[in-house]
Structure 1
Amino acid sequence: MNGAALVTGAGRGLGAAIARTLAARGWPVAVNDLPGRADDVVADIVAAGGKATVAPGDVTDEAEVTRLVTAVTERLGPVGCLVANATGPQPVVGFEDLTWHTHLGQLEFFVKSPTLLAQAVVPGMKALGGGRIINIGSDMPERALPGWSAYSAAKAAQLALTRVWARELGASGITVNVVAPGWIPVERHADVTQEDAPST
């Protein structure tokens, strides 16, 4: 199994660290983020002797995902490793203010996007003889913090689909896993005070 690594939401934070680490381990890396956000990460990887390309695109849009994976395949080869890390706004919304729209905002990134991405890369992984799909999960479903029900529900759904995919795709040599780190303060949390940080 060879191929390239595609890391979504990799222009900063955890995604950038993942992209740099994969490149350091010899993977050609497609660094996905919104336009203009991935340039510095790609420059860092290339300066360190790795191979990387900017791969902009909205990973919640089906046409964009198809275009993105096609472009990555043309530049770096089939995707052998997918890290679905991209996320959107994560508002704290209490029960009284919760709406279906709030839920949809989280499901877009943690159910729809991983589904679109996996369906786009799996044919290439099968041609390679196997692959790796890694969803970035969360410990929030277990922590059950007030105000985080929409986020936690979407992350729980992500875990469930990952478990089913692991059984469905394993016969093709494709492993599907969730990595669920705790809260990691990155650039998006620059304005979060110690008092406001998620805690048990």
Structure 2
Amino acid sequence: MTNTQPSPLPLAAQTVLVTGAARGLGLHIAQAFLREGARVVVNYHRSAQAAQALAAQWPQQALAVQADVCDREAVQALVAQARQHFGTPISTVVNNALPSFQFNGDARAHADHLTWNHMQQQLEGAVRGALHTTQATLAGMRQLGLGRIVNIGTNLVQNPVVPYHDYTAAKAALLALTRTLAQDLGADGITVNMVSGGLLRTTDASAATPDAVFNLIAASTPLRRVTTPAELADAVLFFASPWARAITGQNLLVDGGLVKH
């Protein structure tokens, strides 16, 4: 039996939830969707001033909403508020929110000092957060007959060159969830994909990274430079766009060719 689906939504017709959208990579992702005409729910946890400033720049398209993605009820309330404000269900979710983390290998716990609390913090933010946003938006996507979920991963899963055990393990689990959700939700016209960057120059999380590390990465890539947050954000747009309508369960590495996969 042929599974016919509604025509995919152009970016300008989408209502997009970006978690952790007030700063860092999330800010670039939100700005990319806004630039293309989408309505964007600017989710934040503690960065109220930055989120509200972004929403003020795009008063017709952006809505700033506070919610901890680890709190199921808070996420459900966010989704309800967004639907009431924009008059349409959320069609696209970008799971970007990152628990507190600094990309500085010298400061991270190695195997002999790693604790389960380190692991749990990252698993809660990455996997539990993505589960909550998916479940909260699922009814609206099914009503639309389509949906796009884009999870933010890391190339460290394929190339674990630094001891970010907790962060990398959580992103690996999120990749597995990406693939199982893609299989589960495909019949509803919902695609689920991942965009995995390397070290980005520069976000709040990578501000602690020594220049020597950036230089080493740049020299190791075919493009001879470090990927920017804006470049990764453009790849997120691709998975949300009509051009990616037949792609699901995939992980796109956006790192200047550092990891070939």
Q: TM-score, with normalisation over the residues of structure 1?
A: 0.91
| 1:1-200 matched pairs, under 5 angstroms | 1=9, 2-34=13-45, 35-46=48-59, 51-76=61-86, 77-90=88-101, 92-184=108-200, 185-195=202-212
Aligned mates of 1:187, 1:138 — CA distance in 2: 16
Aligned mates of 1:190, 1:144 — CA distance in 2: 20
Q: Is the 8 A contact 1:3 1:80 kept in 2?
A: yes
Q: Is the 8 A contact 1:20 1:45 kept in 2?
A: no
Q: Is the 8 A contact 1:60 1:108 kept in 2?
A: yes
Instruction: Give the SS at the match of 2:91.
Output: strand
Aligned mates of 1:171, 1:139 — CA distance in 2: 29
Aligned mates of 2:58, 2:196 — CA distance in 1: 25
Aligned-pair Cα RMSD in Å: 1.8
- Distance apart, 1:38 and its partner CA: 0.5
The structure that has the greater radius of gyration is: 2
Deviations 1:43-65 (A, max 9, x none): 2334xxx5111111111111111
Aligned mates of 2:113, 2:213 — CA distance in 1: 19
Instruction: Give the SS at the match of 2:57.
Output: helix
Q: TM-score, with normalisation over the residues of structure 2?
A: 0.71
Deviations 1:99-150 (A, max 9, x none): 1111101101111000011000011000011010000111111121342111
Q: Is the 8 A contact 1:94 1:146 kept in 2?
A: no
**Percent identity among equivalent residues?**
36
Moved more, 178-187 or 151-160: 178-187
Amino acid in structure 2 at the alignment position of 1:7: V
Distance 1:100 1:75, change over 3 A: same
Instruction: Give the SS at the match of 1:36.
Output: helix
- Which runs of 5 or more residues in structure 1 are unaligned? none
Amino acid in structure 2 at the alignment position of 1:37: A
Amino acid in structure 2 at the alignment position of 1:75: H
Aligned to 2:227: none
Aligned mates of 1:183, 1:192 — CA distance in 2: 9
Aligned to 2:237: none
Distance 1:10 1:196, change over 3 A: same
- Distance apart, 1:196 and its partner CA: 5.7
Aligned mates of 1:45, 1:10 — CA distance in 2: 14
Aligned mates of 1:146, 1:5 — CA distance in 2: 33
Q: Is the 8 A contact 2:157 2:172 kept in 1?
A: yes
Instruction: Give the SS at the match of 1:94.
Output: coil
Q: Is the 8 A contact 2:199 2:206 kept in 1?
A: no
